Amino acid sequence: MPETDVKPSPAAPTLVTGTGKPLSVTRLRKTYGGVTAVDEVSMEIAAGEFVTFLGASGSGKTTTLMMIAGFCEPDSGSIVVGGRDVTRLAPQKRGLGFVFQQYLLFPHMTVWENVAFPLQLRGVPKAELRRRVGETLEMAGLSAMARRRPRELSGGQQQRVALCRALVYRPPVILMDEPLGALDKKLRDQLQTEIKRIQQELGLTVIYVTHDQEEALVLSDRIAVMRDGRIDQFDTPQELFERPRTPFVADFLGAANFLPGHLEERSDGDAHILVRLDTGGLLRARPQAAAGGARVRAAVQPGRLALCPPGDGFCTGTVETVTYVGTLVRVTVRPLGGANTEPVRLELPAGRAPALGERIGLAADPADVSVFPDVLPDPEHGG
Amino acid sequence: MTMAGSVLAPNPAPAAAPSPAPRKQRTGRALSDRRTRFGLLNATPVVVYLLILFIYPIFSTLMLSLKGEDGAFTLHWYTDAFRGANLEILLTTLRISAETSLLALGIGFLLASAISRLKPLWAGLAMIVVVVPHFISALVRTYGWIILLGDNGVVNNVLTDLHFPGAPFQLLYNEIGVVIGTTAVMLPYTVLLLYAVMKGIDRRLLAAAASMGAGRITIFRRVYVPLVAPGLVNAGVLSFILCLGYYLTPALMGGEKQTMVASLIDEQVMKQNQWNGASALGIILLLLTFAGLLLLKLLKSAGEALRNRGTAS
């Protein structure tokens, strides 16, 4: 393992923390030949916050990032970093940090020179430059390879160098464009932890772009879920996961099951709302504004469903497939009753796997059930 | 074993010395390897071909250059070459070659960097425009230049009509003429070499430099030029070496003072029937070429050392 000789060491106490500045984006818009890539995107990002733009390719997340970086000019809207309007500035005048998916280290410079480069541009005195480059490399566990060339490093090490190069000059905001996209799973997990640690230690404001929802959930203080150039929901991971505001968010973050049905009239002062599913069962959902009788789709994450004796839950069905995924087992259940029903997906602890063909009931905590009016486009679309 | 060594070594020195096994033993071991013997067998035709067509002629030229009129060993053809008019010709050759390679490098850099920024289709067309003149006989091309650059040539006529101060200029039969002609000959080489290097540069590196605050000039100086540098060295040395032995264009476009070594050899062989002196000049040209290649190597290792020095802190 080329990574094992790198031992992350605690940050030097002299490192300046809290360098992150707030960033605000107002009604940002960009069209490419009549196609709207980014449509009126607005958001406020606090200093020291880790924000992720999450979306599929073509959702406008990268375009938004490129506009913040200055690599592409918005048609309208404004970008303010730490109180300074940078909307029309060239990238080199914005002073932001950028970490690219392809690392883009300078091949003719050593690791040390790569990290020193932005400081040299700023005319930092030699002694201070040496100290700051040294501290930054040490923090990323790269001190031992300061004299190597980028091509002599593994992908993970190269991306660490790129990270050092982006934060050594203490930019107000660091932008990261799928920085771990080219790495394998194990390394990605390791670097996620490290990015998060450095970001928290130094109080960096980070905007991170990814299409990997798991990565977004692990890293972010808040996630902006993007679709078709718009922000569907901008919230903490917990809010997004537990209270998705659109079917798209429910589907994208947790690959939710969507169960069609209609709302029952509320009865006996029950705090929950009741959904009569097309398969015949009655599902309790958390309280939310909805009119009785309306067609709805109830969304439940596969991991929030539980098994119960047949007839007890909101749905009874037969086990169709059982797939082991490490400590989890993925199960699909074909509901009985009702025509053309989709199978329901579950994730259970590996020890609780039902047998194939077994008749079981499904239950869900009402707090985990979201209800959406059935007028929006199909969640599969664009996902 | 070697692989494990390089992986385990914390920071392998670039020129790590191989295991100090006695030379004889190693050669013997290498010969006992079946693949080595098979390789040698395969290489034999090429070796024979090179021996007959390259090594033998060069060797006999060398012998010729060391033979006096009486057939005895002498070095006076070489001392002659470094004396009086011959020395001047040698120096002129070096100077014109240096001027040509610098000019070809400069123009080639501009052309290649412009072409490398074009869309593929246009870049292809531009490359054809640069390379196609090379398909035409050098003689025809040189006469083309003579027509363009003569006292009543196109260039001077246009300049005179524009009342350009000092026009008409003497553009032929002097060093300007020779350098224009040889530069035109060398240009395709420098453009092709530099274009290949520039095409290989990831332009996003320049964007990366901009993102961390570098202006255009800094990006050019600190990122672009260092990345192109190997190509610059190659192209410069190549055009210098090619120019050293170039005959046709300097002979037709130069004057008395621009006689180059190749013309001198021609004169000695064709007019004076002086084969020994011509051989000595030929050997000197060959050695100069080797010197050029050595310079290339030195420049490369110097560049490497310069880069490494910056990290010594």
Q: Quick one: which of A353, A366, A363, A380 has its CA closest to A310?
A: A363
State the pLDDT at residue B92. 92
Count how many residues are written for chain A. 383
CB contact burial A133-167 (16+ within 10 A = b; e otherwise): bbbbbbbbbbbebbbbbbeebebbbbbbbbbbbbb
Show residues of chain A in contact with B311, CB under 8 Å: 110, 112-113, 146-147
User: What pLDDT, in 10s, does the model give residues B273-311?
Assistant: 888 889 999 999 999 889 888 988 888 888 777 766 654
CB of A249 closer than 8 Å to CB of A240: yes
Q: What is the pLDDT of residue A16?
A: 62
Would the CB atoms of A106 and B205 count as touching at under 8 Å? yes
Q: Assess B222–A contact: CB distance below 8 Å, yes or no.
A: yes
Long-range pairs for B205-209: beta carbons < 8 A, 24 or more residues apart: B205/A104, B205/A106, B205/A107, B207/A71, B207/A91, B207/A104, B208/A98, B208/A100, B208/A104, B208/A106, B209/A106, B209/A117
- The answer to whether A151 and A145 are in contact (CB under 8 A) is no
Are A112 and B311 inside 8 Å of each other by CB? yes
Contact across the interface for A92 and B207, Cβ inside 8 Å:
no
A328-335 and A344-349 as β-strands: parallel, antiparallel, unpaired? antiparallel
Contact A121 B227 (CB under 8 A): no
By the 10 Å C-beta count (0-12 exposed, 13-18 middle, 19+ buried), A195 is classed as buried
Tokens of B308: 């490494």
**Is A121's CB within 8 Å of B207's CB?**
no
| Gyration radius from chain A CA atoms | 25
Beta carbons within 8 Å of A247's beta carbon, 6+ residues apart: A256, A258, A297, A299, A372, A376, A379
Query: What residues of chain A lie within 8 A of the CB of B226, using their CB?
Result: 108
Nearest Cβ partner for B10 among A92, A130, A144: A144
Distance from CA of A170 to the nearest CA of B (A): 11
ipTM score of the complex?
A: 0.75
Is A97 close to B310, i.e. CB distance below 8 A?
Answer: no
| Of B207, B195, B201, B204, the residue nearest B226 (C-alpha) | B201
The tens-digit pLDDT sequence of chain A (383 residues) is 343 443 444 444 445 666 788 999 999 999 998 888 999 899 999 999 999 999 988 899 999 999 999 999 999 999 999 889 999 999 999 989 999 989 999 999 999 999 999 999 999 999 999 999 999 999 888 999 999 999 999 988 999 999 999 989 989 999 999 999 888 888 899 899 999 998 998 899 999 999 998 899 899 999 999 999 999 999 999 888 888 888 888 888 878 888 888 887 766 566 778 888 888 788 888 877 666 667 888 888 888 888 888 878 888 888 989 988 888 889 998 888 766 678 888 888 887 788 888 888 888 888 888 888 876 444 444 33
Q: What is the C-alpha separation between A372 and A289, in angstroms, rounded?
A: 10
Closest CA to B254 of B25, B80, B96: B96
Determine how many CB atoms are found less than 10 A away from the CB of residue B93: 26
- Looking at the complex, does the CB of residue B213 fall below 8 Å from at least one CB of chain A? yes
Chain A contact for B307 (CB, 8 A cutoff): yes
CA closest to B204 among chain A residues: A104
In this structure, what token pair is assigned to residue B287? Answer: 């050695």
> How many angstroms away from the CA of B303 is the closest CA of chain A?
10
pLDDT tens digits for range B238-264:
999 999 988 888 888 888 888 888 888
Q: Phi, psi at residue A136, to the nearest 5°? A: -65, -45
Q: Are residues B138 and B185 in contact, defined by beta-carbon separation less than 8 angstroms? A: yes
Distances (CA, A) of A7 to A137, A173, A201, A213, A293: 12, 27, 17, 28, 61
Which one of A91, A97, A144 has the shortest CB-CB distance to B210? A91
What domains lie within chain B, and their CATH numbers?
90-312 (1.10.3720.10)
Handedness of CA B185, B189, B192, B194 (dihedral sign): negative
DSSP string, B114-154: HHHTS-HHHHHHHHHHHHGGGGS-HHHHHHHHHHHHSTTSH
Quote the pLDDT of residue A13: 42
pLDDT tens column, A163-208:
999 989 989 999 999 999 888 888 899 899 999 998 998 899 999 9
Residue-level pLDDT at A52: 95
> What are the chain A neighbours of B208 within 8 Å (beta carbons)?
98, 100, 104, 106
A125 interfacial to chain B (CB closer than 8 Å):
no
CB atoms within 10 A of CB B157: 14
Token pair for B118:
């074009």
Beta bridge partners of A296: A261, A373
Give the relative orientation of helices B23-32 and B34-50 as an angle to the nearest 10 degrees.
Answer: 100
Question: Would you say residue B147 has pLDDT above 60?
Answer: yes
Summarised one tens digit per residue, pLDDT across range B2-36 is 333 333 334 444 444 444 555 666 667 777 777 87
